[in-house]
Amino acid sequence: MHFVLKLFLGAWLGILLLPYLVVPQLPMPQGCDESSPYFSFTSVDLLVDRTYWDETNKDVRTDHEILKALMEEIQSAETFLMVDFFLWNDWKGRLGKEHSLDALSLRLADAILKKRKQNPEMPILVLTDPINRLYGSNTPEFFQRFVARGIPVVFTNLKQLPDPNPLYSKQVRFWSKFYSFKPPSDGFRIFPNLVESKGQRLSLSQFLSAFHLKGNHRKVLVAGYKNKPSRTILGSFNPSDGSALNQNLAVSVDGPVADYIARSEMAIAEWSASDSRNLMGKRFELEDALRRMDFALLKANDFEQYAVRKTGVRFVSEGSIGEAVMELLEDSKRGTEIDIALFHLSDRSIVKALKQAAKRGVKLRILLDQNKRAFGYKKMGVPNRSVADELMTLDEVDSIQIHWASSATGGQYHTNAMRVFDQDRDILLLGSANFTHRSLFNYNLEANLLFNQVLSVNNAFDHYFDSLWNNSTGFNESLEYKALKNPEWMQFIRKVFYFFREWTQLSTY
């Protein structure tokens, strides 16, 4: 009897382990994990979205530049237009109950539709993440309007990306080869809709798709012109109504780097749309748009002739962002000053590199979101509060200063940027990537720009960061680390949740 029981348990253990032995990790597909040469440019601007709490009038004030710049770029584009945004929807979460939110999604969509009406022949391509249709058929109405005007919409084929949640995804990948699971009909909706409090509940199939926990996290626009270089706007801004109170950074820059980014986006569109379920619109319209964009852009083998040596701007995406961050930290020494502004800081290799940099005497200033709210829903401060507590226990704590972005507005400090300055380097890295395992090491799609010795944008960032750090605008935009109460029992609970999420990758960041 004991033998039979052992045999039964061994068989079940073997069945559970089999997917991890035979299912390989997928490589990043074409157009991903890119690291361009440095390119020159003719113009560059740092774009800032700031949100303040006006204590005198008890009201939220905004000073936002990114959406305006995007709409102006759409209006001026001449030969093609390409946009790729992670969140693009009118969902408000619980924020809609407390605030009157700007309709970011519709304003951007209307600008594109207006451009289509003015220039019906210009190719326009829209890429986005399937979260915007809740991994099902909940498609925003303006996407239907795009398709009606001949603008193809491509939802990223997330099945082509590596799996950050192996406990779940490898099992699904393996057993789906032998058994086609058909969940109950979409009428069977039992899962809460966390992105829209008044929205329709989610079906089982939508929930199971979301649980793969990966996405196209890029935020990019590229516009083409007849007699001047292409231009890109790239950063952390999502045209999502629930993100209307967020603080973001982006950069507008022209030159070959914009063409390089466009070719990366084209590759993503092609392998995503190879599965017709990811394409809204007619295939010949997508193929025509890609063909005409290919004609308008620099050819892939021509970029080297436009490369410069060690200064200018270069595009880094996915795992190449992680490599750049690690290199910047590991090459830092006494005398190096590093300013970091982040929405999420969690990856263990980055945390260890920050500790080692502090021990070498590197001066670190880290400005973090409190991870207190997400679209009006309360959070417990993981991962940022846990990582900050860990860093501030170092013996070399004098090398590290941590401030919290104010949460009084109800929005999120959604910026992702890193500034490095010393005798040899003058660098700014910014874009969509959080400093998390999923963002930096080839799981999510991410897009960043790295500027080396570009005084105009680097100095603009320094002014921006210092003003938040010192609250020099007259508003309380940041708080010192010690301003948040950290009872030991709560630190311990957050620490347990943080390390469990890092070990399993069962998280949304």
In this prediction, residue 285 carries a pLDDT of 97
Average confidence score pLDDT of the chain: 93
Nearest of 281, 274, 267, 266 to residue 224 by alpha carbon? 266
pLDDT tens digit sequence for 21-61: 888 889 999 999 999 999 999 999 999 999 999 988 889 99
> Does the pLDDT at position 189 exceed 80?
no
Q: How far is CA 276 from CA 32, 96, 130, 185, 189, in A?
A: 21, 35, 14, 21, 26
In this prediction, residue 307 carries a pLDDT of 95
In this prediction, residue 150 carries a pLDDT of 97
Percent of the chain with pLDDT over 70: 96
**What does the domain layout of the chain look like in residue ranges?**
43-305, 315-504
C-alpha torsion sign, points 198, 59, 414, 240: positive
Superfamily the domain 315-504 falls into: Endonuclease Chain A (3.30.870.10)
pLDDT tens digit sequence for 287-305: 999 999 999 999 999 999 9
> Does the pLDDT at position 262 exceed 80?
yes
In this prediction, residue 7 carries a pLDDT of 75
In this prediction, residue 98 carries a pLDDT of 80
> Does the pLDDT at position 97 exceed 90?
no
Q: What is the CATH number of domain 43-305?
A: 3.30.870.10
In this prediction, residue 335 carries a pLDDT of 95
Q: Are strands 124-128 and 44-54 parallel, antiparallel or unpaired?
A: unpaired
Residue 267 CA to its chain's centroid (Å): 19
> How far is 325 from 321, CA to CA, in rounded Å?
6
Residue given tokens 């498609």 in the structure block: 139
Percent of the chain with pLDDT over 90: 78
In this prediction, residue 171 carries a pLDDT of 86
In this prediction, residue 183 carries a pLDDT of 55
138 or 41, which is more confident? Answer: 41
Average pLDDT over residues 378-394: 95
Nearest of 221, 233, 253 to residue 65 by alpha carbon? 233
- Does residue 160 contact residue 271 with C-beta atoms inside 8 Å? yes
> Does the pLDDT at position 186 exceed 60?
no
Lowest mean pLDDT across 45-49, 69-73, 304-308: 304-308
In this prediction, residue 268 carries a pLDDT of 98
Residues in CB range of 423: below 8 A, 6 or more apart: 335
Lowest mean pLDDT across 40-54, 173-187, 252-266, 381-395: 173-187
pLDDT tens digit sequence for 480-497: 999 998 889 999 999 999
pTM (predicted TM-score): 0.96
- Does residue 295 contact residue 254 with C-beta atoms inside 8 Å? no
- Check for a shared fold between 43-305 and 315-504: yes
Average pLDDT over residues 401-419: 97
- Does residue 237 contact residue 71 with C-beta atoms inside 8 Å? no
> Does the pLDDT at position 375 exceed 70?
yes
